A and B are shown apart, each in its own frame.
Chain A
Amino acid sequence: MTRPRLIAAVTVAALAAAVTLLGGAFRGASSPGALAAVPGTRLLEPGAGSTDTAALVAGLQQRLQADPYDAQGYALLGLAYQQRARETGDPSWYPRSGRALRRALRLAPGNAAATGGLGSLALARHRFREALQLGRRSLRLSPASARVYGVIGDAELELGRYDDAFRAFDTMARLKPSVGAYARISYARELRGRPHDAIVAMQLALEAAADQPEATAWTRVQLGKVYWSIGHVGDAAGQYRAALATLPGYPFALAALGQVEAARGRLARAIALERQAIDAMPLPQFVSELGDLYRAAGQPAQAKRQYALMAVIQRLLAANGVRTDLEGALFEADHRAHGREVVALARRARAARPSIDGDDTLAWALARAGRCSDALPYSRQALRLGTLDALKLFHRGMIERCLGDMLTGNAYLRRALSLNEHFSTRWAPVARKALR
């Protein structure tokens, strides 16, 4: 990347940083179902007809110019703005969405669409307690709406209330089986450590996506990530390629395919794909992964540049109301490991988001700061659902080894590698080396 090009990319990042798939993707390749769990993606159902949202926005704006008292118009505009964020990765659509939705509610207090829209906006911004409250409020307004159960379940999931979340997903799937419902059931099954049942549910989601390009591409990437999580690299690659055939240039498929290329030892190909993804949508998880790929390819200067870009993106997200503490803490723990500061960040993040991801990030931050006995209980918590997540198992293995229990530690490392020997560009080689 030439210098002006890099600057241009930073500028684009400034305008268009992450979000929609951010929660999951931030968690990285090792959390394969993560995208399915990502609140932001649910806002607007995958494939909510994103092909011409810009035209929809323009139409709604025109309609509202003619009638500035049109509450439903503002509610729909607010939702359309969220879809724009999903399509472009530009978080500045979120404040706009919030303004439109609040205006709708001022005009028509109790408007169900606007209340639900604020709920999904809160999810996209990783404000899960707020999302849960809004979800419950919209449930009172619209007690039999499948979507509302999606918002509530997503929030509960990120707050670590798994039984409640899974009940909400069951209700959603019973009220209205759809791409969104099946994808959530799939993710829940994955969290429970049942990847094969997760695959079946995601295949149902794929059928329900019915050739709608974005929904199909999105679902194929999710399915590929479940395959990837259990080391079925060929099946994963097949899904990513099929996603690209459906939606050429789909950045999530490009980035995922980059991981496959890296797993096959083709780092140059992997870097090219990751860069292609970033050119289309400079999401933080892509940038972080590109940094790791450069590092693995022996180009530390390039890696550093990508890591520096991360800070810019985080600030942009924060400026648009998106909380990225958890993702930020994991990134910092992975890439800087400066003790106290990172631990404090991870603690704050876990308080806001007491999920297994919160537990795992805090455990890892503590371990990287050398506080392995403090880390162990959090790592136990992180694995309490029996999730087959190689990165979390790797973290546990390193913590056990750090505490001197090499036998247990190595067993965890072997489990991580046996799930997927390429679970992380950064950490899989470390696990292999430790076992030698």
Chain B
Amino acid sequence: MTAVLPRRRTAAIALALLGVGVALLVLRFGPSPSPAKAASHREAPLIANDPPADITDFYMFRSTEAGHAKTVDLIMNVIPFEEPSGGPNYYNFDPSVAYTFHIDNDKDGRADDVAFEFRFKNEIRGAVNALGLPLAYVGGVPPADGSVIPPITALNSPGLGLRQKYTITMIKDGHRTVVSPLTEKITVPSNVGPRTMPDYDALAAHGMYNLGNGVRVFTGQRDDPFFIDLGAAFDTLNLRSPATDMLSGFNVNTIALEVPVSMLTRDRHGPAETTQPWLGAYASTSRPKVTVDGVGRGSKMVQVQRLANPLVNELIIGTKDKDRWNTLAPQQESAFLDYYENPRLALAMSLVFGAAVPATPRHDLAGALLKYGSTDPGYSELLRLNVTSAPGAAWPNGRKPSDDVTDTALQVVGGPSFAGVGDGVSANDKVLPGVFPFLASPWDGRNRVHANP
């Protein structure tokens, strides 16, 4: 009989962790070409795999780059767990998905004041097309029958067989303006390896565009900047130090946009002059809405995913409500308030560590994540940034790639007993650059490693 009790206890803890662990696993680390690493398959069957519409992270912060202090950077990463060697097509944005940054600049919780929408288009071209090669990218091919395919060193190299171009549309107060037409900007391809792409950083630099007026843009592959000791978290929160960054050696696809603060604020002023300094934002992916009786693909879109604050989707919203949560707008968050007031992660933490967590219902989480201030009438799940704060502010005042959101989340959710707790991974495996687009060069397909820390 005595043996039963500890087992029961284990089961209870496991149950409590389930929602947390599985949700984190599936949502953040969902589908993967490397199943041995990504445990995603556990629940993938219940949740459609949709990596190009799967946002892993969203960042918004004042630029820390010299000379760009008056700008804000918006970054969304998609396609979780890109195994760098995942040829022959590697990783691309989806032409049928709309990728959008949404901004609220009047503190009404509705991120409908300014939006930037990215749409992509595929082009099969160059030597790959001419020779009918079953590869997206070739280069550095030694001379054969007189023809040579040079390495890919530019975005018009003949070996760049699958090329994506994109258009950016700004939607301001309902008015659509094409910021960059489709024919111009090219996505930086996945990092295949040194023979095909001998100087990847130089190649990627061609895909960083200065659009003038303080606007810069980049789309393409980067190292996944998120860091977490997921293995330890799943081992019933068996945290350790030093820990292992489970995302070491994996890439993501990035959309990075830098715009002047004055393009986003309500009063159109920069950080020094604005009297309306608060921005609330989220990133979304949408797919065409179709119905049985509808014709063709229709013109409306359905939001597939939204992301504002990190770990909300993974750790707060319950699995059974995730589909609906994703289709709704952030200002409809009051429908999910119960999850913020009775966070499952706190329950799991108290079970595992036996330490006290704040009593429920909790109002601190909703206050921190869903409001600009205590006087807000409603709840809206937005990432909020005060643009008058100095560059370098950390989440939840905006979010930079280097912010250790896992530790912050554990400490906030756990309350005072968990001050100083963390998962032991405090920085990304690759050094994050201090210049646009602020994310490290991706791992190359030939020499990739998943080593740690």
Contact partners of B295 in chain A: CB under 8 A: 197
Q: Given A112-B320, A144-B324, A173 and B289 touching (CB < 8 A)?
A: yes
Contacts known (A59-B39, A185-B292); A79 close to B46, Cβ less than 8 A? yes
CA gap between A69 and B8 in the complex, in Å: 7
List A62-88 residues whose CB lies under 8 Å from chain B: 67-73, 76, 79-80, 82-83
B326→A176 contact, CB < 8 A: yes
Which residue of B43, B48, B296 is within 8 Å of A113 (Cβ)? B43
Choice from A178, A185, A207 contacting B48 with Cβ under 8 Å? A178
Q: B94 to A207, Cβ gap below 8 A?
A: yes
Knowing A69-B14, A72-B22, A212-B49, the reply to whether A185 touches B290 (Cβ < 8 A) is yes
Asked whether A147 lies within 8 Å of B95 as measured between CB atoms, the reply is no
Known: A48-B45, A49-B49. A175 touches B323 (CB 8 A): yes
Residues of A within 8 A of B304 (CB): 176-178
Kindly state whether residue B176 has any CB partner on chain A within 8 Å: no
> A47's contact among B14, B49, B322, by CB below 8 Å, is which?
B49
B422 contacts A by Cβ under 8 Å: no
Contacts of B313 in A (CB 8 A): none
Q: Do A212 and B35 touch across chains, with their CB atoms under 8 A apart?
A: no
Is A215 interfacial (CB 8 A cutoff)? yes
Q: How far is the CA of A45 from the CA of B43 in the complex (A)?
A: 11
- Which A residues lie within 8 Å of B40 (CB)? 49
Bound-state Cα–Cα, A207 to B50, Å:
10
Interface membership of A143, Cβ < 8 A:
yes
CA distance A45 to B293 in the complex (A): 23
| Alpha-carbon separation in the docked complex, A176 to B290 (Å) | 11
Tell whether B327 is near chain A: CB-to-CB under 8 Å. Answer: yes
Contact yes or no, A192 B42, CB < 8 A = no
Find chain B residues with CB under 8 A from A60 CB.
42
B228 smallest CB distance to A (angstroms): 19
Contacts of A278 in B (CB 8 A): none
How many interface residues does A have (CB within 8 Å)?
67
Tell me whether B32 is interfacial, beta carbon within 8 Å: yes
For B4, give the chain A residue with the smallest CB separation: A69
A267 CB to closest chain B CB (Å) equals 29
Within 8 Å by CB of A169, from B33, B292, B327, lies B292
Partner of A197, one of B95, B296, B302: B296
Residues of B within 8 A of A112 (CB): 319-320
B7 within 8 A of A: yes
Residues of B306-339 at the interface with A, using a CB-CB cut-off of 8 Å, are 319-324, 326-327
Q: Which residues of A contact B8 (CB under 8 A)?
A: 69
* B361 close to A (CB within 8 Å): no
Chain A, residue nearest B288 (CB): A204
Output the least CB separation between B447 and chain A (Å): 22
Contact A52 B22 (CB under 8 A): no
In the complex, what residues of A have CB within 8 A of residue B7's CB?
67-69
CA distance A280 to B44 in the complex (A): 25
Q: Which of the residues B43, B47, B289, B290 comes within 8 Å of A76, measured between beta carbons? A: B43
Interface membership of A145, Cβ < 8 A? yes
Interface pair A45/B14, CB less than 8 Å apart: no
Q: Mark B39-61, 1 if CB is under 8 A from A, else 0.
A: 11111111111111100000000
B44 partner residues in chain A, CB cutoff 8 A: 44-45, 48-49
Docked-complex contact B11 and A52, CB < 8 angstroms: no
With A67-B11, A146-B323, A175-B324 as contacts: A210 and B35 at CB distance below 8 Å: no
Asked if A108 is an interface residue, CB under 8 A from chain B, the answer is yes
Contacts of A29 in B (CB 8 A): none
Does any Cβ of A come within 8 Å of B131's Cβ? no
Q: A45-B48, A144-B321, A210-B94 are in contact. Are A71 and B15 (CB under 8 A)?
A: yes
Q: Report A206-223 residues with CB < 8 Å from chain B CB.
A: 207-208, 210-212, 215
Among B33, B89, B92, B292, residue most surrounded by chain A Cβ atoms (within 10 Å): B292
Contact across chains for B290 and A173 when beta carbons are under 8 A apart: yes
Looking across the interface, which residue of chain B has its beta carbon closest to that of A141?
Answer: B320
**Quick check: A69 and B11 within 8 Å, CB to CB?**
yes
A201 contacts chain B at the CB level, 8 A cutoff: yes
A49 engages B41 (CB within 8 Å): yes
- Chain B 45-104 interface residues, beta-carbon cutoff 8 Å to A: 45-53, 89, 91-92, 94-96
- Decide yes or no whether A9 CB sits under 8 A from chain B: no
Bound complex: CA of A107 vs CA of B290, how far in Å? Answer: 39
Bound: A65/B259 CA distance, A: 54
Contact A70 B14 (CB under 8 A): yes
Task: Say yes or no: is A227 at the interface (Cβ < 8 Å to chain B).
Answer: no
Which of A137-189 touch B at CB < 8 Å?
A: 141-147, 166, 169-170, 173-182, 185, 188-189
B48 touches A188 (CB 8 A): no
Closest Cβ–Cβ distance, residue A76 to chain B (whole Å): 5
Q: Please, which residues of chain A bring their CB within 8 A of the CB of B210?
A: none
Q: Does A291 contact B (CB under 8 A)?
A: no
A118 vs B379: C-alpha distance in the bound complex, in angstroms? Answer: 37
Complexed CA–CA distance, A120 and B46 (Å): 10
The verdict on A56 contacting chain B, using a C-beta distance below 8 Å, is yes
Q: Is B36 an interface residue when CB atoms closer than 8 A count as contact?
A: yes
Contacts A55-B35, A67-B11; A208 near B94 (Cβ below 8 A): yes
Could you tell me the distance in whole angstroms from the C-beta of A202 to the nearest C-beta in chain B? Answer: 11
Rounded to whole angstroms, the CA-CA distance of A101 and B260 in the bound complex is 54
Question: Given the complex of chains A and B, what is the CA–CA distance between A79 and B44 in angstroms?
Answer: 10
**Residues of chain B contacted by A189 (CB below 8 angstroms):** 292
Residues in B whose Cβ lies below 8 Å from that of A48:
41, 44-45, 49
B131 → A minimal CB distance (Å): 15
Contact flag A182-B290 (CB < 8 Å), given A69-B11, A245-B134: yes
Could you say which residues of chain A place their CB within 8 Å of the CB of B322?
145
A191–B11 Cα gap in the complex (Å)? 47
Contact B50 A82 (CB under 8 A): no
Given A43-B45, A67-B14, do A192 and B302 touch, yes or no (CB 8 Å)?
Answer: no
Q: Given the complex of chains A and B, what is the CA–CA distance between A60 and B41 in angstroms? A: 11
Residues of A contacting B31 in the complex (Cβ-Cβ under 8 angstroms): 47, 49, 212
Smallest distance from the beta carbon of B122 to chain A beta carbons, Å?
10
B446 interfacial contact with A, CB 8 Å: no
A135 to B259, CA, bound (A): 48
Q: Does A276 contact B (CB under 8 A)?
A: no
User: Given A141-B320, A192-B292, are A211 and B89 neighbors across the interface (CB < 8 Å)?
Assistant: yes
Is B15 in contact with A108, judged by CB distance below 8 angstroms?
yes
Indicate whether B297 reaches chain A with its CB closer than 8 angstroms: yes
Indicate if the CB atoms of A201 and B290 lie closer than 8 Å: yes
- Nearest chain B residue, comparing its CB with the CB of A78: B45
Partner of B291, one of A43, A59, A83, A185: A185
Q: Is A381 positioned at the interface, with any CB of B under 8 Å from its CB?
A: no
Tell which of A80, A176, A188, A192 has the most Cβ of chain B within 10 Å: A176
Q: State the CA gap A403–B151 with chains docked (Å).
A: 71
3 tightest CB-CB pairs across the interface, nearest first?
A178-B48, A144-B324, A69-B11
6 contacts between A and B (CB under 8 A): A45-B47, A48-B41, A49-B35, A67-B7, A69-B8, A79-B46
Contacts A48-B49, A83-B41 aside, 20 further interface pairs with beta carbons under 8 A come to: A49-B40, A49-B49, A53-B35, A71-B18, A144-B324, A145-B320, A146-B323, A175-B324, A176-B323, A176-B326, A177-B288, A177-B290, A185-B291, A197-B296, A200-B297, A203-B297, A204-B288, A204-B297, A208-B48, A208-B50
